[in-house]
Structure 1
Amino acid sequence: MQNVLIVGAGSGGTTILNLFLKLKSMNVKAIVDKDEQAPGLQIAREHGICTGTDWKAFLRSDIHIVFDVTGDDTVFSNIMENIPPNTLLIPGSVANVIVSLLKENGKSMQRIQNEIERQRLIFNSVDEGMIGIGPEGNIDFINESACRMLEVSDNEAIGKLITDVIPQSKLVRVLESGTIELNEELILPNGTKVVTSRYPLASKDNTIIGAFAVFKDVTEVTKLAEEITGLKQVKTMLEAIIQSSDDAISVVDENGIGVLVNRAYTRMTGLTQDEIIGKPATVDINEGESIHMKVLETKQPVRGVNMKIGEDNRDVIVNVAPIIVNNQLKGSVGVIHDITEIRKLMKELDWAKEIIRQLEATYTFADIHGNSADIHLSIEQAKLAAKSDIAVLLRGEAGTGKELFANAIHSASERKSGKFIRVNCGAIDSSLMEKELFGEGEVTGDRIGLLKEAINGTLFLDEVTALTKPVQIRLFDYINGGRNAQLESQRHDHAHVKIIAATSKNLERAIHEGSFNEELYYALNRLSIHIPPLRSRKSDITEIVNHLLVKLNQEFGMNVEALSAAAKERLRQHDWPGNVRELENVLSRAMIYMKPNSVIIDEEDIKRSLQTIGTNSEDNVLPEKSSLTSIMDDYEKSILEKALEEHDGNKSLTANRLGISLRSLYYKMEKHKLI
């Protein structure tokens, strides 16, 4: 497929755009024009094609062909200077010739159709010249077509010798020989060339009583033959295009009776042509109404309808448009796209994304955003921690980014080539935690333990206060050099694993209450880093938002550009009990609430998002042990269910309401098992 950039959206650019929209081999990536109201830009927007006023923004290496239809030599020169080496530039003069040919082609096709109709009437009226003679060679009869070609009246011709009217006539020879002569060329007295066939006339006793000639102007015959031959070639080409399409195509007449299907259609439905041609349009539908019949009733196209067809209930997307000829409805044509493979690819893509998430590199300090003094101090402390092998304690409220800091410390340390293993201490059963960390022992050999697996790497213990007291004591012995006899075999390992612990709890209170080991506290607190809450560094919100928009655009398949000034101010007024995690959550919901085709998040979107999560209630603060992904998935599913319910299950209306493509809607429905 060739990627195309059209420069100029006037009549010429619009004609080329309309042609390429019908061709699978041409993919219009963008069309630009200085006039934002140019007709080509309007059509492009309706088809989801990128538009703009500056061609430089779209001239990339993936563009194969550039059409310059501006007629401006300066534009052509500028494009030529900037065009990639493997991109073909079609100049304005050539593009205009193509446009002219396209227009002329349409006129020629109309002229051919009119001429075929005219020729049909001629043949039905028997316009061949006919003339006959008697035994003496005198003209007995002549029709109006012959009179017209000979430029005589019937009164002037009848009764005269045939050679007086047509000196070169061979009818007398046929009269004498009784032999048929077919398709011979003859020049009439007025210079007209005709093709004639001559036949003897015999009585019942086979006596030759005359001769008869039928002739036609060679010019008309030649012209008609050329037109018919050309039309057949066009028909053959169109049939080849239809049959070569991977999408199923069906055509019905104005009564909804099938008149044409291609091979892809019979393959997809499992029905033969005999089972479809001449049958009602509903013959291939397993579920739902016939879109062909709906289009014939409304005379309006219907696009993006999800249906099931064929014996194996294949899921397809159907686009059907009416066939209008001379303002008369002649039928409808449908294009059916099988989405079975698409759904399979979507599942595979989802699986691949999950694998990528697991394999992708850890975060670095460049991923920590903000310029406030508080966050700057935390980052500098973390950079010092990366240079040391001593244990690190990260302290801060839920959602402040403790895991992000742990990743950054690992990436900046000499251990970055080793493993980074995260353990959510609160998510593992307390009875299993000791085995997870320290292993089963050398006798059973069942488990080596995460501490041994993390040798030469980093072990991140999130919510370390969830560890039981025995595990806390054993962890202290490990950090302190393996003084416990049970850790004798691991004595040489402790220096080769960097321990990073994190907590959102008050450790001093936990020590006072007896739930946290005081020795472990001092071992971890040698290098303690406090990560400030978002409410204490609201000046960083704008920078964090810009970073999150890039991430969320990729996740949601959207193109949100920025927040309005009022929306930013609304964010700064909020206290953010859930910190950066809550901010990301609010932005995600605001993007879902945005109006279709909007690229700016406004204050109303932010307000609705904050009201939805009920940030003023402690009961609605994000659960400490829940991941953002799971929370967003749950909310996204609820939004999809509500939108589908509001639109009675209509997928196209639902996608438009949510401001996403129909393909994205099907992917998300499949992801949340709503199909």
Structure 2
Amino acid sequence: MNKPLVLIVDDEPDIRELLEITLNRMDIQTCCAENIAGGKTLLQQKSFDLCLTDMQLPDGNGLELVDFIQALPDPIPVAVITAHGSIESAILAMKKGAFDFVSKPVDLSTLRQLVNNALKLFNTEGAVAKERRPRHMLLGESLVMQEIRAKIDKLARSQAPVYISGESGSGKELVARLIHQQSSRSDRAFVAINCGAIPHELMESEFFGHKKGSFTGAVSDKKGLFQAAQGGTLFLDEVADLPLPLQVKLLRAIQEKKIRPVGDQQEIPVDIRLLSATHRNLSDMVQDGSFRQDLYYRINVIDLHVPPLRDRPDDIPVLVDHILAKLTGAGKQDRPSLSPSALSALRHYYFPGNVRELENILERALALYDGNIIEIDDLSLPKAVRGGTKAPEYDETAGSLEEHLERIEKQALTLALEANKWDKAAAAEQLGLSFRSLRYRLKQFDMDS
């Protein structure tokens, strides 16, 4: 097999020599340029597998080279080398399509891991990557779902942190898993954690691990989530629930790519791809001071919004068929189907709990229906929906869009509570929400009494 060929662009001879020696010892060939013009010339003359470029070059900024490579017919992974503390430059580079970054002074173990990840991605694209395409996992042919699948394809070719926004139950964790499965890290661990489910006093130990005897009850060394995800992907769901003290430590871990277990004197290098999600509005939380602005910009390098189910009603039939197949384990000929009126009711339902709520509705319907057809009365939907009423239309004279959406959400909460005789746990299940999320919403709308 031909050896990989890497382009190194840096104006410092010592750095070029260090990178060349390191990569040559990895059985990788190298070519060097000392400025942007030389790098562009070599890119047009040779076929490279990876480019490593400094940000500050004599004839311009390394971002210009990132843009140039992204515009090539077959763009290659490009990683930027930044001065220590210039995290803003690294973030901008990844927004433009850079694969990853490494800070000066260059840590050689971090560099080797970055190069291996990039080359693995380059070698697995094509036939292998196509087998992992999300078409059969992220269902729906609506325009928004086609756009999300295309964006997942693109994001899988980067190491940039991705912030996945969307309502509860809309499929944010599924999107995160698909980004991981299509990436160069697919053969390593995908570690998902709900930040709201960890007691605050245990968070630092859960994230970074601890040493034996570091606190009462620490009877042995324990690895944290960062170490468990080493070489793979760490997904922080409901990242908005992180307390401010841990936000500071998380920011440092992301920027320095190192962690310090509780009770340890030494920092440990970690190599993870960070994905995060929440149903809350992080920008509003930054404004009110409950979420750090620097952490927000660090995890929100790329924003991927997952639309609510009500915005893609044409996808409901294929989702229904998939969920029924999963719940019954039956073939297409043997599993039940929905009557036209039942399917119409689902298409017109507001779905505050999104796809998770659709699954709950169909699971209950399977316990109630007779014969081979699920009728509208078998669906646990509010009476207004069973009667064919659509979600309220937006009236421009009725206030802002935010006020309009609040009225719709209040109506959905009220209908669910009434349908379940004010049993909050049952209402939360019907809406596809956790009990904690339901209580948060009720308190937010002054409905908790």
TM-score in terms of structure 1 length: 0.36
Letter aligned with residue 377 of structure 1: E
The answer to whether the aligner puts 1:492 opposite 2:269 as a matched pair is yes
Relative to structure 1, the CA distance from residue 392 to residue 443 in structure 2 (aligned partners, 3 Å threshold; closer, same or farther) is: farther
The question of whether the paired residues in 2 share the 8 Å contact of 1:372 and 1:540 is answered with yes
Measure, in 1, the Cα distance between the counterparts of 2:284 and 2:338: 41
Match of 1:554 in 2: 329
The question of whether the paired residues in 2 share the 8 Å contact of 1:407 and 1:420 is answered with yes
> Quick one: which of 427, 430, 434 aligns to 1:625?
434
Measure, in 2, the Cα distance between the counterparts of 1:373 and 1:603: 28
Measure, in 2, the Cα distance between the counterparts of 1:366 and 1:528: 23
Secondary structure, in 3 states, of the residue corresponding to 2:152? Answer: helix
Match of 1:600 in 2: 373
Secondary structure, in 3 states, of the residue corresponding to 2:179? Answer: helix
Question: By how many angstroms is 1:609 displaced?
Answer: 4.9
Question: By how many angstroms is 1:592 displaced?
Answer: 1.2
Measure, in 1, the Cα distance between the counterparts of 2:240 and 2:367: 36
After superposition, residues 310-329 of structure 1 pair within 5 angstroms as none
1:576-629 CA deviation, whole Å, 9 max, x = no partner?
A: 11110111111111111101xx112122222x45569987246624363369xx
> Quick one: which of 302, 317, 320 aligns to 1:527?
302
RCO higher in 1 or 2 (8 Å CA, sep ≥ 6)? Answer: 2
> Quick one: which of 408, 415, 419 aligns to 1:616?
415
Measure, in 2, the Cα distance between the counterparts of 1:363 and 1:439: 34
> Quick one: which of 173, 186, 200 aligns to 1:430?
200
Question: By how many angstroms is 1:439 displaced?
Answer: 1.1
Bigger Rg over Cα: 1
Measure, in 1, the Cα distance between the counterparts of 2:344 and 2:135: 27
Measure, in 2, the Cα distance between the counterparts of 1:614 and 1:600: 29
Match of 2:356 in 1: 581
The question of whether the paired residues in 2 share the 8 Å contact of 1:457 and 1:497 is answered with yes
The answer to whether the aligner puts 1:563 opposite 2:338 as a matched pair is yes
Measure, in 2, the Cα distance between the counterparts of 1:381 and 1:458: 18
> Quick one: which of 186, 195, 204 aligns to 1:416?
186
Q: Provide the aligned C-alpha RMSD in A.
A: 3.0
Relative to structure 1, the CA distance from residue 413 to residue 483 in structure 2 (aligned partners, 3 Å threshold; closer, same or farther) is: closer
1:471-523 CA deviation, whole Å, 9 max, x = no partner?
A: 11111111112489889954632xx2111101000101111111111111101
Between structures 1 and 2, the one with greater strand share: 1
Match of 1:480 in 2: 255
1:353-382 CA deviation, whole Å, 9 max, x = no partner?
A: xxxxxxxxx995521111111122222222
> Quick one: which of 227, 231, 241 aligns to 1:452?
227
Question: By how many angstroms is 1:397 displaced?
Answer: 0.1
The question of whether the paired residues in 1 share the 8 Å contact of 2:133 and 2:182 is answered with no
Relative to structure 1, the CA distance from residue 454 to residue 378 in structure 2 (aligned partners, 3 Å threshold; closer, same or farther) is: same
The question of whether the paired residues in 1 share the 8 Å contact of 2:162 and 2:274 is answered with yes
Measure, in 2, the Cα distance between the counterparts of 1:623 and 1:428: 20
> Quick one: which of 503, 508, 515 aligns to 2:278?
503
Measure, in 1, the Cα distance between the counterparts of 2:334 and 2:323: 12
Measure, in 1, the Cα distance between the counterparts of 2:142 and 2:352: 19
The answer to whether the aligner puts 1:403 opposite 2:173 as a matched pair is yes
Measure, in 1, the Cα distance between the counterparts of 2:272 and 2:350: 38
Match of 2:291 in 1: 516
Relative to structure 1, the CA distance from residue 515 to residue 624 in structure 2 (aligned partners, 3 Å threshold; closer, same or farther) is: farther
Measure, in 2, the Cα distance between the counterparts of 1:614 and 1:599: 32
1:150-199 CA deviation, whole Å, 9 max, x = no partner?
A: xxxxxxxxxxxxxxxxxxxxxxxxxxxxxxxxxxxxxxxxxxxxxxxxxx
Secondary structure, in 3 states, of the residue corresponding to 1:426? Answer: helix
Relative to structure 1, the CA distance from residue 406 to residue 443 in structure 2 (aligned partners, 3 Å threshold; closer, same or farther) is: same
Measure, in 1, the Cα distance between the counterparts of 2:222 and 2:266: 15
Relative to structure 1, the CA distance from residue 457 to residue 442 in structure 2 (aligned partners, 3 Å threshold; closer, same or farther) is: farther
After superposition, residues 629-640 of structure 1 pair within 5 angstroms as none
